[in-house]
Amino acid sequence: MVDRKVGLRAIAAMAVTVFTGTLVQAQDSLPFPPRKSGSTAGPTMQSSVYKPLPQPQRLPGDAPNVLIIMLDDVGPALPDTYGGDIHTPTLTRISKSGISYNRFHNAAMCSPTRAALLTGRNHHRVGFGQIAELANDWDGYSGRIPPTTASAAKVLGYYGYKTAAFGKWHNTPAEETTQQGPFDLWPTGRLVGFDYFYGFLAGESSQWEPAVVENTVRLPAPHRKDYHFTEDMTEKALKWMRQHQAVSPKEPFFIYWAPGASHGPHHIFKEWADKYKGKFDEGWDVMRERIFARQKALGWVPQETQLTTRPQSLAAWKDIPEDERPFQRRLMEVFAGMTEHADTHAGRLIDELESLGIRENTLVIYIWGDNGSSAEGQNGTISELLAQNGIPTQIKDHIRALDELGGLDVLGTNKVDNMYHAGWAWAGSTPFQGTKLTASYLGGTRTPMAVSWPKTIKPDAAIRTQFHHVNDIVPTIYDVVGIQPPKLVDGVTQEPLDGVSLRYTFADAKAVERKKTQYFEVMGSRAIYQDGWMASVFGPRTPWEPGLPPSIMSWSPEKDTWELYDLSSDYAQGKDLATANPQKVTDLKKVFDEQALANKVDPVGGGLWSILHPQYAPTNPATEFAYNQDVVGIPEFAGPKVGARSSLVTMEVDLKSDSSGVLYALGAISGGLALWVDKGKLSYEYNLFEIQRTRIESQGPLPEGKVKIEVESRMAEAKRASAMDVSIRVNGQEVAKGRVPVTASLAFTANDAFDVGIDSYSPVSLAYFDRAPFKFNGRIGQVNIRYL
């Protein structure tokens, strides 16, 4: 007779979830326990009974494949699927074969959105209140997804899904992206759980010469004229899908496909940019009005929606001098071409699903953007990281590169890392206020989304208007797969999911909204949504204004003025009701404070810390480095900061009369420094984001044989962007010296590297760009670097 208490416990432990008529055992603790043998072992095989048990059924037989597509830095108003100016055939295809959402939201910034998307939790809860490169020591800004918040890849993997990620990652600590790891927080690391990864780890990358990682191996740059990263990652994804179907056709897969497009730098083949010639000649103000009219005609926005006005600090098109307009137009043409190119290649994944005969039971979730359009190009730039380093410039510093915008020149070499004017980003946010980095406004946080699952979701043109967020995607996947969020993963107690499943909206466009509250916060810009109302604060910095405002050092969130919007009647968030309804503001501020405390948001604005104090930004903590000629491809955030700190580089080099090549390099064509030897002289260049190149060269013949080369760099002042004095010595004798007028305080690049004996990815100097990677043709011995 079965013990009644034991039986009840067993029944409780075997709670079930209904999935299309199939019962699936809930598993509170992952991984599953080891499979037990059904055979009975005796002393000999003759006396043993061989009777293996069937494989445990952990998923329903009809569990769907899942494909998430997410583009980067594309605003909510851009796709022609929903009234925009950029052709998006794949987004249209998913929308027409499924359903669309016009009140779906992200976290207003790259890393935060991706962390929330992959874990089902709020971004601060998983350590991503800021991008990985600007993480700090507060829990909500650590840049480390904790083991208490397991990713969907890990959970689905334990249930039997095969998992793969392609494209931009941006959720690994910047200082841990070297070839030596640690690999725990890489996409295929034990704390993340993807089976396969092909892409780049940082926040942005050259699309022509990316520092690509395959699983945990850093690959050499392609240096091919016909190469583009979006095409490369798509080919890898298609190959992975084919191999999966060949080897594991009965097992479902989960794919996360997130190209670098259309984050800066905007790189695309000329023919794609040329598709948009003349399209934007009238400027961003007219573009915004044109898109708004289409949005209304399509019913994408309610008919009563009012178009919000341009911020006073953002230039009108009429204010752009006529001689600068061709430059600004071309920047937008390039961006549009890059975006259409990415959407088109996303379509190749859908084609492959159909070719493999698995489209019917694949849940495709196409999230248009991880944040709004980026205004970080400010007035239009040929080097996108100028803004992050807080270095102001003038258009005359950039406009000379008009014919090179988009990347490749006639030799097939990238010379620019362009980024469009913030006015285009504002137009891409129609009808909303704000852009990327404004968590207070929907122009930074709202993104269209289309969902298609032919087996279950009937095509429906009725727009889903329920308020939702990227943290709702993981709960949705678990819901449709038929599993419950585990309470323990790898022995670690799990925090609850913050998201709400979207499944209730699949068959009912008018279903009552289930997400009642959601907070937003990025670098002090913040908002709280509850039951149709939103209270918000713009924040201490304006993304489209150069540099940092002097007031930011004394900014305190307690002094901020809150705005109030009734989103149930004000779709565009344009009518501030704070003065008319102060009690509602007070109530919502209290809700925000409660959410901030619960989700590790405090200190509010904590994401600004590493910007205001670059010395605390993620970096290699060493003050001395010992390298040799084998050291290649050290990510900039993990390498020596020889361009931003006083330092002494000492090298043992064998020189001959025909010696040539790079001795060491840091950064890329968009910004960096390099020392090389060519035609009997040493040359040093400090490339300040392409707008200012300081060249220091030796005079007189160089000695031959084993020589000692020293490069001493001393910051002139203890302040951001200080000048730097450089002295180059050979065998103790000074052979060249000079002053770098302005330096990069934060970083030259997000995804390039420090190299010895080669410039491995994008070349720093135009002096050897056509010979890249310009490998040194001799021997380099010990290389020592120490900070002074």
Are 493 and 641 members of one domain?
A: no
pLDDT tens profile 187-237: 999 999 999 999 999 999 999 999 999 999 999 988 788 899 999 999 999
Average pLDDT on 645-653 reads: 97
Residue 544 lies in a domain: yes
User: Which band of pLDDT confidence, cut at 50, 70 and 90, is reported for residue 348?
Assistant: very high
Average pLDDT on 401-405 reads: 67
Are 188 and 258 members of one domain?
A: yes
Residue 57 lies in a domain: no
Question: Element (H or E) spanning 317, and its range?
Answer: none
pLDDT at residue number 550: 87
As a whole number of angstroms, the distance between CA 422 and CA 78 comes to: 14
pLDDT tens profile 82-133: 999 999 999 999 999 999 999 999 999 999 999 999 999 999 999 999 999 9
Are 423 and 365 members of one domain?
A: yes
Put the strands of the sheet holding 517-522 in their side by side order: 517-522, 525-530, 533-537, 563-566
Are 548 and 627 members of one domain?
A: no
pLDDT at residue number 441: 98
Among 581, 596, 611, the domain-final residue is 596
> Does position 11 have pLDDT exceeding 90, yes or no?
no
pLDDT at residue number 414: 61
The CATH number linked to 562 is 3.40.720.10
Residue 756 lies in a domain: yes
Higher per-residue confidence, 114 vs 416: 114
pLDDT at residue number 520: 98
> Does position 531 have pLDDT exceeding 50, yes or no?
yes
Spatial CA neighbour of 545 closest among 442, 434, 399, 422: 422
pLDDT tens profile 363-378: 999 999 999 999 999 9
User: Which token pair is 223?
Assistant: 């240096």
Which residues 6+ apart lie within 8 Å of 116 measured at CB?
A: 106, 107, 122, 123, 126, 128, 469, 470, 471, 498
pLDDT at residue number 404: 67
| Amino acid identity, position 277 | K
pLDDT at residue number 22: 45
pLDDT at residue number 412: 45
pLDDT over 70, % of the chain: 95
User: Which band of pLDDT confidence, cut at 50, 70 and 90, is reported for residue 25?
Assistant: low
The number of angstroms, rounded, from the C-alpha of 99 to the middle of its chain's C-alpha atoms is 26
pLDDT at residue number 416: 84
Residue 51 lies in a domain: no
Are 555 and 658 members of one domain?
A: no
pLDDT over 90, % of the chain: 84
Strand partners, 653: 707, 780
Average pLDDT, the chain: 93
User: Which band of pLDDT confidence, cut at 50, 70 and 90, is reported for residue 153?
Assistant: very high
User: Which band of pLDDT confidence, cut at 50, 70 and 90, is reported for residue 23?
Assistant: very low
Residue 208 lies in a domain: yes
User: Which band of pLDDT confidence, cut at 50, 70 and 90, is reported for residue 12?
Assistant: very low
Are 592 and 638 members of one domain?
A: no
Number of domains in the chain: 2
Are 648 and 693 members of one domain?
A: yes
pLDDT tens profile 310-341: 999 999 999 999 999 999 999 999 999 999 99
Are 296 and 408 members of one domain?
A: yes
Distances (CA, A) of 673 to 713, 748, 759: 12, 9, 10
Q: Of 160-164, 412-416, 518-522, 592-596, where does mean pLDDT reach its minimum?
A: 412-416
- Calculate helix-pair angle for 473-481, 152-159, nearest 10 degrees: 10
The CATH number linked to 684 is 2.60.120.200
Among 596, 629, 661, the domain-final residue is 596
pLDDT at residue number 700: 85
User: Which band of pLDDT confidence, cut at 50, 70 and 90, is reported for residue 406?
Assistant: low
Instruction: Classify strands 22-25 and 217-218 as parallel, antiparallel or unpaired.
Output: unpaired
- Calculate helix-pair angle for 110-119, 473-481, nearest 10 degrees: 20
3-state secondary structure 543-599: CCCCCCCHHHHHCCHHHCCCEEEECCCCCCCCCCCCCCCHHHHHHHHHHHHHHHHHC
Are 582 and 640 members of one domain?
A: no
pLDDT tens profile 433-485: 999 999 999 999 999 999 999 999 999 999 999 999 999 999 999 999 999 99
pLDDT at residue number 718: 85
pLDDT tens profile 352-364: 999 999 999 999 9
Q: C-alpha angle with apex 449: 445 to 450, nearest 5 degrees?
A: 180
Which DSSP symbol is given to 775?
B
Are 461 and 384 members of one domain?
A: yes
- In terms of Cβ atoms closer than 10 Å to its own Cβ (0-12, 13-18, 19+), residue 758 is buried
Spatial CA neighbour of 208 closest among 192, 221, 190: 221
Are the C-beta atoms of residues 604 and 596 closer than 8 Å to each other?
yes
pLDDT tens profile 297-309: 999 999 999 999 9
Residue 230 lies in a domain: yes
Are the C-beta atoms of residues 236 and 219 closer than 8 Å to each other?
no
Residue 321 lies in a domain: yes
Are 669 and 562 members of one domain?
A: no
pLDDT tens profile 237-283: 999 999 999 999 999 999 999 999 999 999 999 999 999 999 999 99
Are 213 and 284 members of one domain?
A: yes
User: Which band of pLDDT confidence, cut at 50, 70 and 90, is reported for residue 402?
Assistant: low
Distances (CA, A) of 616 to 608, 613, 625, 647, 781: 11, 6, 19, 18, 32
User: Which token pair is 73?
Assistant: 């830095």
As a whole number of angstroms, the distance between CA 211 and CA 628 comes to: 21
Question: Element (H or E) spanning 467, and its range?
Answer: none
Q: Is the peptide bond before 773 cis (omega within 30 degrees of 0)?
A: yes
Domain range for 395 is 65-505+512-596
- Per DSSP, the residues of 278-315 read TTTTT-HHHHHHHHHHHHHHHTSS-TT--PPPPPTTS-
pLDDT tens profile 692-743: 999 999 988 899 999 999 999 999 998 878 999 999 999 999 999 999 999 9
pLDDT at residue number 18: 35
User: Which token pair is 605?
Assistant: 């604005």
Residue 148 lies in a domain: yes
